[in-house]
Structures are given as structure tokens and as C-alpha cells.
Amino acid sequence: MSRAARPDSGPQVPPSERVQVLPPPAALADEVVCCILREIDPDGFEEVDPAAPASAAAGAAVPPDASPVAGVVPANVYACLNLVLSGWVRVEATHGFQLPTAFVTGPFRAPLRTAASIRLRSVSLVLQPWLLADWFGLVPARMVDVVRALQRPSGVADATRPAGSGQGPCADCGPCDRMRTAWAMELCDRLATGASSAVALSAALGEIAAAGTRPTRRTRPRLDRLLREHGSVRHAARVADLSERQFERRFALDHGLAPKRWLRITRFEQGLVRMAAGPRAQAASLAALAAETGYADQGHMTREFREFADHTPGRLRAALASEAPGYWAFGPVRVGFVQDRGRGDG
């Protein structure tokens, strides 16, 4: 991604971005898709030899006006709990705004352009969308394309943009009840405490899975599985013994998105997974990828990728192969979590 020219103040290198994607414990596999630890550092992440000269250990100079790291979050069907533990992230839009330090998002129908400080540590817990209701007392259908700031928990700095401040699409979904508010704060505390490393974060996920304070999940039919299996509202509704209209209402109640858009976005995600499936996938033609993913042709796939990622398939495949900074939100795709999680019995 392009960056503005920097003053000549010594050796300049783009900031290094490290993205670690952790699977959930088995006890959370039907609720949590994955957890993403994102770090940006202009000095990189290599171990420094203590015996090295001071000049070598100092790393590249960081000018005060260094350009932020541009990024994109693609359209997706999930909810997400996000903590910005150091640095900042802002949304790049006509009415751009700085994101809170603790916030929840719902599914997104379109990509979100962001910019991040060149020193950053953040944690994102990617969730099945019905947990917006079960864990946070929020309505999934009212959280589509929405950022909802959370009350400041211990271990996380003050939110820079409180909900309802007018600085972006902050939800007005009503207050959570006390139990869910306490659980949201506990989640934030555990994730913040574990964010020092992937090992510590994995341990924190285990504590979350074992926590007796985790809200009891509501039993519900998994209409997404029927929709994925049968590929259309008509056939899925018939199997569920519902009218198409009933199916659409119940689906939106748990998933926020309309079933047809959900199908389009999950097909896009399937294309991303295939695209990132190794050297063989990198060598495959885009026309073959389009056919394997269920698109009518390569042009159809290109239009969908532009709508959902603001990239052409070719440009996105090159970016994923190069591991360029700013593509942290595609981390789950690289390890195949998207599409494969949340298929246990519900």
C-alpha cells in the first residue's frame, strides 16, 4: 500500500506487522471463530543480540510524522470484540473517526478502510453473530455495519470515542443487562491480560471457556448450516419446515444479515480460503478459482471481490502472498478458520 514520502532522517523501512491467529478451545468452537493478535512495530520483531553494537540494536529511526499503516477489513458475516491496547486505529471514510479502545462490531456488508499507528497492539475475538445477543445483549440485526463502544474495563485505556458521540456508526441498541455487562468486562480483562503473547492469549481463551460466568447459550436451530448446505432460501426453508418469509426473519434474528447477502459473503470468503490455500492455489488461474467457488465467471467474481474487499482477486491474492502490512483481517483466511468453524452441533 502506498505511503506518503518521509523526510530523510536515516534509514526508513515500512513498519513490520505480525498477525497471530489462534483457534478457540474446544468448549468455545461453536461460538468463537478465532482470536487475532495484531502487532505493528517500526523496528520489527526479530530478537536483538545483546552483544550487538548499540547502533545495530537501535533499529530504524521513526520520524514523528511517519505515515500510518493503511488496512482493509473485508465484508464478513461475523461479530467481533476488539481491544486496542496500545496505539490507535481509525476508520478512513468521508466522516472518518478514531475507533474506541474497546468495542464490538456486527457483520459488515461492505469493506472498511482503516489506518493504524505504526506502533500498535490489538486483540480481536471473532464471534458467531448470535453472541451479540447472548453475550452483550445487543440485537444482531441492529449491529450490521455498526461499531459499538464498550464501557471502559480495567486493563484497557479510556475509549477515545464513546458510543453515541456522533463519531461514526456507533449503535444505539439500548443498555446491556448487568450480567452481560459484567461478562463483557470480564472478557475484555482476560483478553487484555493475555495479549502479551500468543501463548498467554491462548491461556486466556482457555480461562474464558472455563469461566462459570459465561452466559448460558440459548438452544437454537442453526439455519446457517441449512442455508450453506442447500444454497438457497427456498430449499433451506423447505427443509426447516418454514415459509421463505419465516426463514428470512428467523435467520436475520440470529445473523443480522439477510440470507441472500449472507450467501454472497460466505461464497466470497470461500474464494479467499481457496486463494490462500498454498502455492498450488497461487498458481491456479482466476477463472478456475471462480468456477470452483461457484461464480458464473471470472468477471462475476471480480465484481463481488471489489464489492466485499475493495480489491480485485488478482490484487488481493498478491497482497496475501506477500504478507503486506494492513491485511491483518485476512489472517483467519490464511489458516482456513473462516468457513470451517462453527459447524458443530448447535
| Same domain, yes or no: 173 and 237 | no
Residues 240 and 125 in one domain: no
Question: Would 97 be classed as within a structural domain?
Answer: yes
Q: Is residue 37 part of a domain?
A: yes
Instruction: Give the full edge-to-edge strand order of the sheet including 120-127.
Output: 16-22, 32-41, 120-127, 79-86, 102-105, 147-149
The three-state secondary structure class of 332 is: helix
The gap from C-alpha 124 to its chain's centroid, in whole angstroms, comes to 6
One domain for residues 31 and 154: yes
Residue 224 CB neighbour total at 10 angstroms: 24
Q: Which domain range does residue 128 map to?
A: 16-48+66-210
CA distance 318 to 261: 26
Q: List, as one string, the DSSP characters of 222-252.
A: -HHHHHHHH-SHHHHHHHTT--HHHHHHHHH
User: Distance between CA atoms of 38 and 329, rounded to whole angstroms?
Assistant: 9
| Tens-place pLDDT, residues 242-300 | 999 999 999 999 999 999 999 999 999 999 998 887 777 777 899 999 999 999 999 99
Residues 164 and 240 grouped into a single domain: no
Share of the chain above pLDDT 90, in %: 60
Query: Is 180 a domain residue?
Result: yes
Domain match, 153 and 234 both: no
Q: How many domains does the chain have?
A: 2
Residues 114 and 226 in one domain: no
Edge-to-edge strand list for the sheet holding 69-73: 69-73, 112-116, 89-91, 97-98
Q: How much is the pLDDT for 295?
A: 95
Per-residue pLDDT tens digits for 65-88? 578 999 999 999 999 999 999 999
Are 100 and 191 in a shared domain? yes
Q: Which CATH number fits the domain that encloses residue 20?
A: 2.60.120.10
Residue 126, CA distances (Å) to 156, 197, 251, 297 in order: 19, 18, 19, 31
Q: Are residues 37 and 92 in the same domain?
A: yes
Shared-domain flag, residues 171 and 194? yes
CA distances from 207 to 20, 78, 188, 200 (A): 19, 22, 12, 11
The grid cell for 55 is 547502533
Domain shared by 75 and 190, yes or no:
yes
pLDDT beneath 50: ranges in the chain:
1-11, 47-61, 152-176, 342-346
Whether 205 and 106 share a structural domain: yes
